[in-house]
Structure 1
Amino acid sequence: MRLYSFVKALSFLPLVPAAVISAQQYPITVLHEFPNPTWLDSSAVRHNGDVLITSATTNQIFLVRPRNPKVAITVARIPNANGANGIAELEKDVFYINGANFSVATGPVLGSYGVWKLDFRGTSPKLSLVTMLPDVQIANGIARMHPTNNTHVLISDSWGGSIIRVNVVTGEYTTVMKMDLMLTQPGMDIGVSVLRTRGSYLFFNQWGVSLQRIPFSTTTGEATGSPETIVSLMAHSYILSNDGTKAWMSSNSLNALQEIDIVNRRWRTVVQNQTDFITPTGAALGRKDGKDVVYIVTGGGYNFATGQSVSGGKLVRVDVA
């Protein structure tokens, strides 16, 4: 979740790691602009190339077709929630989403978080509750454990400094990782955020601080070793390349997208200070016709304390090849 922290984010100075390589601007295309104000939070891409988008300012789940992006279709509304965070596909056309109620004054409402299943396999999308998470403070990032595991997802608790494993069939959940590194870091409002898995590694970002990875059991979700820092930078959301050698990281307080060389632990800024790239948030890889594309959603500069925004959130295509 980026929304709670954005109130302070613009005052942060960026970290300056040594392993920075020269910048290159990648071309961007705005596919769709949502009404002002709309803060878009996370995204995922269906097998047919359609982009699913969550929002921190509405309980609607949107679908945009990149080939015909003029219309954003509402495919579901999360009951008893005013926003949603992470979204991940567990099996073909079956997605899982975190949704909750949020207050600007106090942050997320404890006990309001739930995990929801969005199933596109029928004649129309079907939304159903998997489980409520009454003791989770901020259910944020969500990821599958392994490509062959259709039963469990991992979810980050950004205030609790932990990762939980959820059985999407039974609704049972348990904490599988908890460490100081995942807690809120000095000067930030949340800790562990977006989760991705690649082989026997779980990747996570410390919000606004760094990209990390840790070896883990793809059976239990528990750590099997110590975390290691990939890069230190203003890390808000990211997506891994298909081969796992790169990542693209959004830095919403810098209006920037960084390309990370995971193998050599270096990064470069590939999009920054674009008029149409204000507060980039969630990142997703293109599929089908968009395999050399990263889709970024934005918050439009929305300020949750004042309700003011520069523009509506946008779905932006970044050509990375």
Structure 2
Amino acid sequence: MHSWPVFLLQLLLVHGLPQADNAAPVRLLYEYPVGTWIENIAVRSNGDLLLTVLNVPHLDQLSPYKANATPETIHSFPNALSVFGIAEIAPDVFAMAVGNFTLTGGVQPGSFSIWSVSFTMHDTMEAHKIADPPQATFLNGLCSLPGIGSPKDFLVGDIKQGLIYYVDTSTGDYGVAINNNFTAAVSDPVFGTAGVNGMHVHDGDLFFTNTGQALFAKMHIHTNGTPAGEPTIVARVLNSSMEFDDFAIKDNDAYLVTGSGNSIERIGLEGTSKGRIVAGSLNSTQFAEPTSCAFGRTEADRHILYVVTAGGLATPVDGDVTVGAQVLAVDTRLWLS
């Protein structure tokens, strides 16, 4: 018989036994009102969390260290309804995709722009537009490239077109960098059509999810983001209830949010081992439609995986349950031991 920590027992009483190898303690940092969708997350070097909001054009900031902390909207983007992917492209400089999306009307092609937000030494914030790509239909995943410049150029994926653009930070120029069978969009029950979604570069390889094709893949790339090898599949979803969205990488593992699967799955980057659910479960609201995750960056929280959710707005839990979008802190030391 297991000897469960008291905190973990409390979690299990509330949420039920998760379908996971190790039940990691989960702490709710903040729950937004029902109807809010948090799309993505980035972690600043000082530990603060940057949150992109899909139902309003807001960039929010939340300190995970303060008791009863409340997110602060630090920028509202003009002529837009939604904020999507975000990535750090220089120290305390973040690029993000902005456009128009509603749950009732879907996405508005041609509404997208790419912005950067930078923080100064005194923690004031400046925002400016990098590019207006008129041919973009649904910009979502975004990741910086491992170049030597600062700010770095980056990649941004179009989930509807199933391709990845390269963006030159200094000039705003952009063009298609990657377009292959594994990034391609296919029919999807939630988004109509969906292709490449979450993206991160690790050790010269671009790792990416394809939501419509239900796969996690990798491809060696050049420093400008163009292919330097053929893409290969790292893993496919464990079952049809899941849709890979965004993910975080730590050491030799990726931690993927499963969207409609309401869980976190750990997958080895080498692709030789089967993925494992390490937190959450299909019928639990503990992670109600997770959309993205990121590890802490300070000595105090490098083992904490911060997870954001859509609250089940696109795929309600058990078919009809929605909750407020959540920001959660997951202690991963049980997983990593």
TM bucket (normalised to shorter chain) is 0.7 to 0.9
2:179 matched to which residue of 1?
178
2:49 matched to which residue of 1?
51
Q: Which runs of no fewer than 5 residues in structure 1 stay unpaired?
A: 1-20
So what's the TM-score if we normalise by structure 2? 0.83
Do residues 71 (structure 1) and 70 (structure 2) align?
Answer: yes
Query: What percent of counterpart residues are identical?
Result: 26
Larger RCO: Structure 1 or Structure 2 (Cα < 8 Å, ≥ 6 residues apart)? 1
Paired with 2:177 and 2:147, the residues of 1 have a C-alpha distance of 19
Letter in 2 for 1:32: Y
Paired with 2:48 and 2:215, the residues of 1 have a C-alpha distance of 30
2:28 matched to which residue of 1?
30
User: Contact between 2:221 and 2:228, CA under 8 Å: does it hold in 1?
Assistant: yes
Do residues 211 (structure 1) and 216 (structure 2) align?
Answer: yes
1:83-232 superposed matches below 5 A: 83-104=82-103, 106-121=105-120, 123=122, 124-146=124-146, 148-149=148-149, 150-187=151-188, 189-207=193-211, 209-218=214-223, 220-232=224-236
Letter in 1 for 2:258: S
SS of the residue 2:260 aligns to: coil
2:245 matched to which residue of 1?
236
SS of the residue 2:228 aligns to: coil
SS of the residue 1:253 aligns to: helix
Do residues 293 (structure 1) and 291 (structure 2) align?
Answer: no
2:262 matched to which residue of 1?
255
Q: Write the deviation string for residues 25-80 of structure 1: whole angstroms up to 9, x where unpaired.
A: 22211111112220111000000110000011110111010011521111111111
Q: Which runs of no fewer than 5 residues in structure 2 stay unpaired?
A: 1-18, 238-242
Q: Write the deviation string for residues 91-127 of structure 1: whole angstroms up to 9, x where unpaired.
A: 1100001010124455321211011111112541111
Q: How many correspondences in the alignment?
A: 296
Paired with 1:187 and 1:86, the residues of 2 have a C-alpha distance of 20
Shift of 1:200: 1.4
Q: Write the deviation string for residues 253-280 of structure 1: whole angstroms up to 9, x where unpaired.
A: 1111111122333211111234331111
**Of the two, which has the highest radius of gyration?**
2
So what's the TM-score if we normalise by structure 1? 0.87
1:302 matched to which residue of 2?
313
User: Contact between 2:44 and 2:297, CA under 8 Å: does it hold in 1?
Assistant: yes
Larger mean CA deviation between 261-270 and 94-103 belongs to: 261-270
2:328 matched to which residue of 1?
316
Task: Evaluate the alpha carbon distance shift between residue 71 and residue 105 of structure 1 in structure 2; reply closer, same or farther with a 3 A threshold.
Answer: closer
User: Contact between 1:94 and 1:121, CA under 8 Å: does it hold in 2?
Assistant: no
Letter in 1 for 2:275: W
User: Contact between 1:185 and 1:206, CA under 8 Å: does it hold in 2?
Assistant: no
Letter in 1 for 2:70: V
User: Contact between 1:30 and 1:276, CA under 8 Å: does it hold in 2?
Assistant: no
1:15 matched to which residue of 2?
none
